[in-house]
Amino acid sequence: MAKDEDSSLKILNEDRYGAGCVAINEQAVNVEAEELNRSVDSLTTENEISLLLKAVSFLDLTTLSSDDTKANVTQLCCKAVAPVPKEIVKRHGKNDDSKLTTASVCIYPNRISDAKSALAQLGSALPVAAVAGGFPSGQYPLSTRVSEVAFCVDEGADEIDIVIDRSLVLNHQWEKLYSEVLNMNAAGKGRKVKVILATGECGSLENVFKASLVSMHAGAPFIKTSTGKETVNATIPVGIVMCRAIKLFYKTKGIKIGFKPAGGIRTYKDILVWMLLIKKELGDSWLNPSLFRVGASSVLSSIVDRLEELNSLIKTAE
């Protein structure tokens, strides 16, 4: 019996994906999640500022509204290119923070050209990510979902966030899940493809773990928690389980897979907890935009407000 370090996850027997039967101790996972939530409050002011500036660089700044227009996508791009007041970056940032931006902007396929145009006018090479694959439900024929991915490539998307058909997870149709991820990833033609598991609709933590492994074996360079449209989106227990799957895949295959929580991440404390989770489960090497992203639309405002608050406290104390 293979066993993880803390007995919260046990692999009872292996299949081609590395975990044919998995037992997860949800109580142990929840205890770890609670500890991570508490640990944010023990950060020093300087450490918190440093982490929050770093957090900005992980953001896939997102708008996925049915009433998106060229105007609000342009506004999103402007915010992504200059997300934090220059005074704060100059005072507290490191040398490589002088041109601090978010990691990308994330939009619908029809808005790709708007984003590319806006970023070009801003003189920015910021990556453009688009959602595809029957987003958000995945309840469309695979052929049309693959075509959506191809459309994003043709429009110039640098990254593509695809969504899986959750019924395949709920019915344990792992070969079909493997095939659809393989096909959509191939249609991405080398773009950074992030596979959205929509974990709130996967039924169990065991299913989340297995779906993570299947997606990675199918070539996914990134796995993502949620579309942001589910009733339950990114949760810390789910994040722990997905990170354990990433850790197992790296241990057995030697390949580092990226991780992206998304949905329900609204406050600066939320994003700090996710960063501490990555540091604990995967290590500092994962805390860079090539391996860690956060999907959010409103958290940037909370981060900036907190940075301004901390900056004022420091100036007052001087």
In sequence order, the 6+-apart residues with CB closer than 8 A to the CB of 262 are: 60, 62, 196, 224, 225, 226, 227, 228, 233, 234, 294, 295, 296
The CA distances from residue 285 to 243, 256, 257, 281, in Å, are 13, 10, 12, 11
Angle (CA) 26 30 36, round 5°: 150
Contact 209, 175 (CB under 8 A): no
Q: Catalytic residue among 60, 161, 165, 270, which?
A: 161
224 is a catalytic site residue:
yes
Please tell me which residue in 192, 210, 247, 260 is annotated as part of the active site. Answer: 260
Let me know how long the chain is.
318
CA angle 16, 226, 277 (to 5 degrees): 80
Active-site residue flag, 260:
yes
- The one-letter code for the residue type at 209 is F
Pair of tokens at residue 220: 């996914």
The single residue of 114, 224, 247, 270 carrying the catalytic annotation is 224
Catalytic residue list = 161, 224, 260
